[in-house]
Amino acid sequence: MDLESGARFIAYVDGLASVLGHADREGPLRDYCTGLILPGERKSVEPMAARTAPARVAAQHQSLLHFVGTGPWSDEKVLAKVSELVLPAIERHGAIEAWIIDDTGLPKKGRHSVGVQPQYCGQLGKEANCQVAVSLSVANHFASLPVAYRLYLPKDWSEDRARRERAGVPEEVRFKTKPQIALELIRRACALGLPRGVVLMDLDYGRDSRLRTGVSALGLFYVAGIRPDVLVWPPGGRPKRGDKPLNNTGRRDEPDLISVKALVRGLPEQAWCKIDWREGSDGSLSSRFARVRVRVGHNRAIPDLVAEEWLLIEWPEGEAAPTKYWLSNLPAEISFERLVDIAKMRWRVERDYQELKQEVGLGHYEGRGWRGFHHHATLCIAAYGFLVSERAAIPPSEPRSTGLLSTPPLPTGYRPRGSAIAA
């Protein structure tokens, strides 16, 4: 990083410090963010203390530990400030197009760290002892940025008062499913006035009809992954309230209600199109898609008229069956290519997680408490946001790396300001 980049980093951290609520927190904030972007295999407190203050490691360790583990500053305010500082750089390359909901698993040993238990961990591709957090990222085709991040607290944890107290879980935090947490994050993003985009959800979130309904109620569009057994009325069906009585499964005895899998099998050959959606490292990415307007059947009372939605299906050449299904409430007039393009933008959140973990140590926090878990994640997102804004500053005429963000050294002679233990 040259002197200009170093000056931008200092100004960036100064901007974050403006929402911490106490001047004594500026030094530890600067030190922690510095430690996160400096080279190093571990971004936990002790090695960062050694890198940022080698002459007084013990004192620096206590300062950073207190700041991240127990400091009473607001994650929400810092994340809002990160968005304020970074989004303009991203938007210079195009308007925000997507809000991406997802979760990530952080492998963890033991059982005392907040929220840890055996559960599916995407990083390992299997069930393992881990913490899981739900996030919301905003994205365009150039970059993406997490704007909200919250730990999923399993039901066993939420009902165990002793463990809650040891981990400092706030009294108001109760058990919520991941889709319920996701909807809360989306509502808060709307309240903050963040630039809106189409909400993208994978199967784990998209199959929750209450989440899709909640997103629609906020005036947002979505593209949501669904299972092939979701029941729909094919084109032309107009279910109305009271048309059929509910049977003992909770569904209406409606002969036209079929699974999307069955509907797809009946589509004519001309319904399928090969569509390119973006350039990959080995050339253009493309697949075979079909789309059709449908109305979705729910296990609840049907409104006066169920709205039509797009059913989008991907069935790559050579596969025995379709590989992905999506529902979308995007307008009927949207082009086929644009619908596919938006659906496929969800890949950006995988890049977010990869870079957050590899570049700035999202999974390296070694504390056990609720506050420290969220503080560390907030500061990782802040450091990541700075790196994203630096990449966005590269003129379009200059070559760009297609790999991960590089972690730059700080300017020669730079020393973090302040070392007092924050109140």
Radius of gyration of the chain (CA): 24
Asked if the structure places residue 224 within a domain, the reply is no
78 and 174 together in one domain? yes
Q: To the nearest whole percent, how much of the chain has pLDDT over 70?
A: 86
CA proximity to 45, closest of 75, 27, 72, 65: 65
pLDDT for residue 307? 84
pLDDT for residue 325? 98
Chain segment 336-355, per-residue pLDDT in tens: 999 999 999 999 999 899 99
177-196 average pLDDT score: 97
Query: Cα–Cα distance between 21 and 26 in angstroms, integer?
Result: 10
Query: Cα–Cα distance between 89 and 97 in angstroms, integer?
Result: 15
- Which three-class secondary structure state does DSSP give residue 337? helix
Q: What CA–CA distances, in Å, run from 255 to 244, 301, 317, 373?
A: 10, 17, 32, 51
258 and 137 together in one domain? no
Query: Cα–Cα distance between 304 and 201 in angstroms, integer?
Result: 27
pLDDT for residue 254? 53
Name the band, by pLDDT with cuts 50, 70 and 90, for residue 4: confident
Asked if the structure places residue 55 within a domain, the reply is yes
With beta carbons less than 8 A apart as the criterion, state whether 327 and 230 touch. Answer: yes
186 and 75 together in one domain? yes
With beta carbons less than 8 A apart as the criterion, state whether 397 and 94 touch. Answer: no
148 and 56 together in one domain? yes
Chain segment 54-100, per-residue pLDDT in tens: 999 999 999 999 999 999 999 999 999 999 999 999 999 999 999 99
Asked if the structure places residue 119 within a domain, the reply is yes
203-207 average pLDDT score: 95
Query: Cα–Cα distance between 263 and 257 in angstroms, integer?
Result: 10
22 and 126 together in one domain? yes
220-227 average pLDDT score: 98
Q: β-strand 98-107 against 126-139: which pairing, if any?
A: antiparallel
Count of domains in the chain?
A: 2
Residues in Cβ contact with 358 at an 8 Å cutoff, skipping those fewer than 6 apart? 404
pLDDT for residue 1? 62
Say yes or no to pLDDT of 397 above 70: no
pLDDT for residue 45? 95
Q: What is the mean pLDDT of the chain?
A: 87
Amino acid at 112: H
Query: Cα–Cα distance between 366 and 350 in angstroms, integer?
Result: 23
Residue 103 belongs to domain spanning: 3-198+349-392
Say yes or no to pLDDT of 422 above 60: no
pLDDT for residue 284? 82
With beta carbons less than 8 A apart as the criterion, state whether 229 and 197 touch. Answer: no
355 and 239 together in one domain? no
Name the band, by pLDDT with cuts 50, 70 and 90, for residue 237: low
Predicted TM-score (pTM) of the model is 0.88
Report the alpha-carbon angle 96-83-171, nearest 5: 120
pLDDT for residue 349? 92
Chain segment 88-143, per-residue pLDDT in tens: 999 999 999 999 999 999 999 888 899 999 999 988 889 999 999 999 999 999 99
44 and 133 together in one domain? yes
368 and 303 together in one domain? no
CA proximity to 382, closest of 9, 6, 5, 21: 9
89 and 37 together in one domain? yes
Asked if the structure places residue 35 within a domain, the reply is yes
Asked if the structure places residue 151 within a domain, the reply is yes
245-269 average pLDDT score: 72
Name the band, by pLDDT with cuts 50, 70 and 90, for residue 239: low
Name the band, by pLDDT with cuts 50, 70 and 90, for residue 393: confident
193 and 237 together in one domain? no
With beta carbons less than 8 A apart as the criterion, state whether 372 and 113 touch. Answer: no
Name the band, by pLDDT with cuts 50, 70 and 90, for residue 417: very low
Query: Cα–Cα distance between 242 and 127 in angstroms, integer?
Result: 44
Query: Cα–Cα distance between 362 and 130 in angstroms, integer?
Result: 13
Asked if the structure places residue 328 within a domain, the reply is no
pLDDT for residue 401? 42
Asked if the structure places residue 297 within a domain, the reply is yes
> Which tokens in the block code for residue 147?
């704007």
pLDDT for residue 165? 96
Say yes or no to pLDDT of 270 above 60: yes
Query: Cα–Cα distance between 162 and 166 in angstroms, integer?
Result: 6
pLDDT for residue 250? 46
134 and 60 together in one domain? yes
Asked if the structure places residue 211 within a domain, the reply is no
Q: Which of 192-201, 202-211, 389-398 has the lowest mean pLDDT?
A: 389-398
pLDDT for residue 240? 55
With beta carbons less than 8 A apart as the criterion, state whether 150 and 134 touch. Answer: yes
- Which three-class secondary structure state does DSSP give residue 340? helix
155 and 242 together in one domain? no
Query: Which residue shows structure tokens 């090695």?
Result: 47
pLDDT for residue 66? 96
Query: Cα–Cα distance between 221 and 97 in angstroms, integer?
Result: 11
